[in-house]
Amino acid sequence: MMSSHFFLLQPVTAGSEVLIDSEAHPGGSFPWINAQNRRGIVLRAFPVSWVSSRETLKAIESLTTEHTKVISVSHITAPTGTLMPLREIAAFAKARGIWFHVDGAQAAGQVPIDLAALAADGVDSYAASLHKWSGAVHGTGFLWVRKDRLPEVIPCEAGAYSDAPGGSHLYPGTPRLEYNTTAVRFEYGTRTMSLPVAAGAALAKLEELGMAVISARGHGLATALHSGLAAIPQVTVLTPADESMRASMITFKVQDIPYDELYQFLMAEPYKCRCRIVTELGLDAIRVSLHIFNFERDVENVLTGVKAAIAKQKGGSMHLMPPV
């Protein structure tokens, strides 16, 4: 979404190297692949470790060269819910003058986001959609850019309001446009205000509930699910066991049960668990997300469903009922 504004980052030209994480969602990776195709940047993906943040940092370090201009990572990865070590990556990028961009589409509404603290750490820009964990309408999101680096970001789109006061000129002579010095440079015409206003209401609700409360609840339930799944011999949990490397999402797979069959099984009566298949990187797994509206019984429901699927697959009874 908003990340696409970035292929007009001024320091990114043909031959510039950009590093992205191996679990980047198309919303975070395709703008860069497009820049690779159209502007000749050199794009590389570094592997995200599910074992230690140190390993992830090492992977970033080993792919960084003197030509690396941007490091772009998911705050929380979509396929496995891995929480990335933003502070450490920011320190690494800052020391080398590399632009550090974060895709927070999965993080906004799942964990507290302190943009001022991230800026102090060395994050240069942060983009997020708001229709996921924030519960806002589709088509809403935000792009935040450090104020002192805003001049380096040239908007992809320009239109009425993109200009600085008195900064545009049409006739006589050469037409020119001087961009507004604030985020208003990204405004490109008259848009509907209902979507941003509705998004504001969704964010106000999150604030009322408290992001610390929301994230603690999701994290606690996810930890219970992680432990419960890890105790089932046929299950492999892909989301990191290290609690500091995950938030409220758990991705797992079950030996000898195709992911799509397990998905159908969990989605159907009596479990009715709205999960997601994870086909990225050929993981062929199932992802469960736990929010403020979930309860311990929902975790029990998933565990019961998985056990029932295993029992069914072994030819046993599938009628393990979920708790009420």
Q: Which of 12, 28, 145, 290 binds ligand PLP (CB under 6 A)?
A: 28
| By the rule CB under 6 A, 74 interacts with ligand PLP | yes
Among residues 17, 21, 103, 163, the one that binds ligand PLP under rule CB under 6 A: 103
How far apart are alpha carbons 185 and 182 in whole angstroms? Answer: 6
Q: Which CB, 85 or 305, lies closer to ligand PLP?
A: 85
Output 274 or 319, the one with its CB closest to ligand PLP.
274
Q: Of residues 1, 43, 83, 118, which one binds ligand PLP by CB under 6 A?
A: 1
Choices 25-33, 35-43, 258-266, 307-315 (CB under 6 A): range interacting with ligand PLP: 25-33
**C-alpha pair distances (Å), 249 with each of 78, 81, 138:** 9, 5, 21
Contacts of 74 (CB under 8 A, 6+ apart): 21, 23, 24, 25, 28, 84, 102, 103, 104, 105, 106
Minimum CB distance to ligand PLP, residue 90 (Å)? 18
Q: Are strands 285-289 and 276-278 parallel, antiparallel or unpaired?
A: antiparallel
Our CB check for ligand PLP shows the closer of 27 and 240 to be 27
Does residue 106 bind ligand PLP (CB under 6 A)?
A: yes
Position among 71, 84, 105, 278 found at the interface with ligand PLP (CB under 6 A):
105
DSSP-derived pairing of the beta strands 163-169 and 176-179: antiparallel
Nearest Cα neighbor of 149 from 225, 82, 94, 196 is 94
Nearer to ligand PLP, 9 or 108 (CB): 108
CB of 307 to ligand PLP, least distance (A): 29
**Please, what is the minimum distance in Å from the beta carbon of residue 314 to ligand PLP?**
34
Q: Which stretch binds ligand PLP (CB under 6 A): 39-47, 98-106, 221-229, 292-300?
A: 98-106
Q: Which of 27, 109, 305, 322 binds ligand PLP (CB under 6 A)?
A: 27
Give the interface segment with ligand PLP, choosing from 23-31, 94-102, 258-266, 300-308 (CB under 6 A): 23-31
For ligand PLP, the closer of residues 2 and 214 by Cβ is 2
Nearest to 79 by CA among 230, 238, 218: 238
Least distance in Å: CB of 138 to ligand PLP? 8
Q: Does 78 bind ligand PLP (CB under 6 A)?
A: yes
Footprint of ligand PLP (CB under 6 A): 1, 25, 27-28, 74, 78, 103, 105-106, 129, 141
